[in-house]
Structure 1
Amino acid sequence: MKKLILSAVVLLGTMSIQANVLPVSENTKTAVNVQSEYTEVAADAVPAAVKTALQTAYPGAKLEKAFLNEKKEYKLEISVGDQKATVYSDVNGNWLKI
């Protein structure tokens, strides 16, 4: 009987030692992307390279609004059929992923 009680005490003692929770430091990093301000420009002010890239990538797309930032990047609000989308391009007609 003594061996049974002693075994139970030893077993419970070893289980409680492993049950200790170690403190975990949580280093949280927050990344904030600051997007440049865009100002609205006329659709006629959009360079031909951007318009050509738009028609190549999205045939039949209609340019609704165009915006420009100080980096010469264009934000284009387009519609294709009944769908609307916003795409980004540089001055040379290369698509940007934002």
Structure 2
Amino acid sequence: MKKLILSAAILLGSLSIQAENTVLTTTTVNSVNYQDEYKEVDAVPAAIKTSLDNAYPGVKLEKAYVNDKKEYKIEITVRGEKSIVYTDASGNIIKK
């Protein structure tokens, strides 16, 4: 009887050793490239320049883009910090 109990204990012990947890680590990176309909332009209307000068003293316009709705996406630098501002053709700042 001792041999039977000892055999069962050994068998159960060996089964539990092989039943260890397996940890799988996977890293998934989802990259979404959103193409907006903005096209780069060389110049912006004077109303936009005036509006940006009033809102951000010392602003420097880096690049400007326009879409079909005549909304402008303007990359600016103010005191060394780069930012993007959206405006309409008359210079009103749009929050997006």
Correspondence for 2:41: 41
Cα distance in 2 between the residues matched to 1:47 and 1:71: 15
C-alpha contact 1:46 1:66 (8 A) present in aligned 2? yes
The residue identity in structure 2 corresponding to 1:72 is K
Identical amino acids, percent of aligned pairs: 60
Partner of 1:84, secondary structure, is strand
- Give, in angstroms, the shift of residue 81 of structure 1: 1.6
* 2:73 aligned with 1:75: yes
Mapping of residues 17-96 of structure 1, within 5 Å: 36-42=36-42, 45-96=43-94
TM-score, structure 1 length as denominator?
A: 0.61
Unmatched segments (≥5 aa) in structure 2: 1-33
Number of corresponding residues: 63
Correspondence for 2:95: 97
TM-score, structure 2 length as denominator?
A: 0.62
Unmatched segments (≥5 aa) in structure 1: 1-33
Stretches of 4+ aligned residues off by more than 2 angstroms: none
Q: RMSD of aligned C-alpha atoms?
A: 1.5
C-alpha contact 1:60 1:80 (8 A) present in aligned 2? yes
Name which one, 1 or 2, has greater alpha-carbon Rg. Answer: 2
- Give, in angstroms, the shift of residue 48 of structure 1: 0.4
Partner of 1:53, secondary structure, is helix
